[in-house]
Structure 1
Amino acid sequence: MKRKLKLANVCQLTDQLWIGGELSPVDPDLAQRQLDELCASGIDSIVDTRIERDDVDWVTEAKAEIDYLHIGVEDAGFLMPDDWFDEGVTYALDQIGDGHVVLAHCQAGINRGPTMGFAILLAQGWDPIDALELIRTRRPIARIAYAEQAVDWWCRKTDVPEQIADEKVLRVEKWRDQHGVPL
Structure 2
Amino acid sequence: MDITWVTDRVAVGGGIWVSEKMAELVRQGVTHVIDMQIEFDDTALGREAGVAVLWNPTDDDFKPKPYELLERGVKFALAAFEYNDAKVFIHCAAGVHRAPMMALAVMRATGWELEDAMELIQGRRYVVDFADVYVQSVERFVKTWEKKLVEKNPHPIAKKRR
Same fold, TM-score > 0.5, yes or no: yes
Greater C-alpha radius of gyration: 1
Q: Deviations over 1:32-88 (max 9, x none)?
A: 332222111110100001112212113312x12x00110101111111111001110
1:167 maps to none
2:2 maps to 9
Shift in Å at residue 21 of structure 1? 0.7
1:158 maps to 146
Amino acid at match of 2:91: H
1:136 maps to 122
The whole-number CA distance in structure 1 between the counterparts of 2:20 and 2:39 is 22
SS of corresponding position for 1:159: helix
The whole-number CA distance in structure 2 between the counterparts of 1:81 and 1:159 is 16
SS of corresponding position for 1:75: coil
Is 2:31–2:87's contact at 8 Å kept on the other side of the alignment?
yes
Amino acid at match of 2:113: D
Establish whether residue 56 from structure 1 lines up as the match of residue 56 from structure 2.
no
Against the structure 1 CA distance between its residues 156 and 59, is the aligned structure 2 distance closer, same or farther, given a 3 Å change threshold? closer
Aligned residues: 145
The whole-number CA distance in structure 2 between the counterparts of 1:88 and 1:16 is 15
Task: For 1:169-180, list aligned pairs within 5 A.
Answer: none
Residue identity over aligned pairs, in percent, reads: 28
Establish whether residue 147 from structure 1 lines up as the match of residue 140 from structure 2.
no
Amino acid at match of 1:82: Y
Shift in Å at residue 94 of structure 1? 0.8
SS of corresponding position for 2:147: coil
Q: Deviations over 1:78-107 (max 9, x none)?
A: 111110011100110110122211011101
Relative to the length of structure 1, the TM-score reads 0.75
Match of 1:117 among 99, 103, 109: 103
Task: For 1:21-36, list aligned pairs within 5 A.
Answer: 21-23=14-16, 25=17, 31-36=18-23
The whole-number CA distance in structure 2 between the counterparts of 1:128 and 1:17 is 16
Relative to the length of structure 2, the TM-score reads 0.84
| Residue segments in structure 2 that go unaligned for 5+ positions in a row | 149-162
The whole-number CA distance in structure 1 between the counterparts of 2:42 and 2:76 is 18
